[in-house]
Structure 1
């Protein structure tokens, strides 16, 4: 199963830069986007063979997420169930028989860390939401009496795959100039500690799991020719529940794909 995540930084602009061709070329089973910057009805995508799910911010032209999937999910949820955090279209959750897929666009702490306090509240709430998904009992479909009895496999936790723009470079390997950015949004000690707490709670950074020492980035500022100089940050991730580490087959960063200030990231997993 091939999954793609991409912060498109404005889907209408990205479509003008070749999004549909890239979408077809990547040929993912599930394709998640962040920062769509759309309201309902502002775009119509012809994605043959895909179900489309959208979460829009109340504020126009801001934030927003979407998932395009070949498989129809059992259920869909928008947000994390907390009003304070569900105004900006940042989370979509699809439930399948074998796993949950969550896409997220984590709030940016902004210049001078104006939104850092809010970001810290978000981090705690989002972690609680993810762990809550893991703890839910998988649905057992009832037929005859024998079929209705849950098997040992069905009684296990259901794994979570969470992907998106987490707006944090986890370690010094994930940012070009760590010392110069230590007090900047996306690389503060507070943000990195929250991400570490997320991983320590039972999630695997799939790219780091397969490439522990490799240096690649997924975001570059539009300023100062940052992409030309590869002065980037790795802030886009696929995380999985730790107990399906052995199912991870590949994790890639498509650094050569243009169209946004981010590039797509990929997970191949056998669930």
Structure 2
């Protein structure tokens, strides 16, 4: 089973930059998107063989998530069921017979950490939510989690210690999440691999020079670890400031 996750930084824009070529080549069983920047009815996509699930932000042209899946979900939940966290279309949960898929677009703490307090509250809420799901059946969580967990996950850690996405507070929340019974699938296979990033700033040719961050993840319940078959970062796929990430798992 193959799953792909991609922050497309605007689905309408990336559709003009080869999205469907990658989508068709990937042939994923589950394809998760973040930052679609859409409202309902603003795009038409022909996806034969896929069921589609969309969660739009109230604010136009902002945030939003989607999942395209070959297998119809048993149930779907949009949001966390917490009003303050459910206005930006940041989460979709699909229930299947033996597992959950949770697609997440974590709020950015913003320049100057203006939204850090909100972000930390979100982290507590998402952990509580996912742990409750995990008590029912295993969870596959993916998406743009807007944090480089360890120094190996970005090119210039010392210069970014006080910047959004690499603050001690955000990294501690990720550590707490993983310690609660979850596995970072990429690090499961490549614990020491450096220079593997999924996001690059548009400034100063960062992508060409591979000055990036790994902030896009597949995280799974620990009991799924023996079923993991592979993880990949498709850094050669263009169209967004993020690239797709992939998980192969025997389910």
- Matched with 1:270 is 250
Partner of 1:234: 214
Alpha-carbon distance between aligned partners in 2 of 1:84 and 1:247, rounded to the nearest angstrom: 36
Distance in 1, matches of 2:71 and 2:128, equals 27
Per the TM alignment, residue 244 of structure 1 is displaced from its structure 2 partner at its CA by: 1.1
Output the CA distance in 1 between the equivalents of 2:21 and 2:100: 28
1:267 alignment partner, SS class: strand
Query: How large is the RMSD of aligned CA atoms in angstroms?
Result: 0.5
Equivalent-residue separation in structure 1 for 2:79 and 2:14 (angstroms): 24
Give per-residue Cα distances to partners, 1:122-170, cap 9 Å, x unaligned.
000000000011123xxxxxxxxxxxxxxxxxxxxx1000000000000
1:202 matched to 2:173? The reply is no
1:5 alignment counterpart: 5
**Runs of at least 4 residues off by over 6 Å:** none
1:211 alignment partner, one of 165, 173, 190: 190
Gaps of 5+ in 1: 137-157
Match of 1:189 in 2: 168
When Rg is computed on C-alpha atoms for both structures, the one with the higher figure is 1
Question: Which of 185, 201, 204 lines up with 1:224 in the alignment?
Answer: 204
1:222-242 Cα offsets, whole Å, 9 max, x none, are 001000110000000000000
Cross-structure match for 1:59: 59
What is the alpha-carbon distance in structure 1 between the residues aligned to residue 177 and residue 110 of structure 2?
21
Aligned to 2:133: 133
**Aligned twin of 2:236:** 256
**TM-score, L = length of structure 2:** 0.99
Deviation at 1:61, TM superposition (A): 0.4
Unpaired stretches in structure 2, ≥5 consecutive residues: none
The one-character-per-residue Cα deviations of 1:197-234 (angstroms, maximum 9, x if unpaired) are 00000110000000001120000000010001100000
State whether structure 2 residue 151 is matched by structure 1 residue 168: no
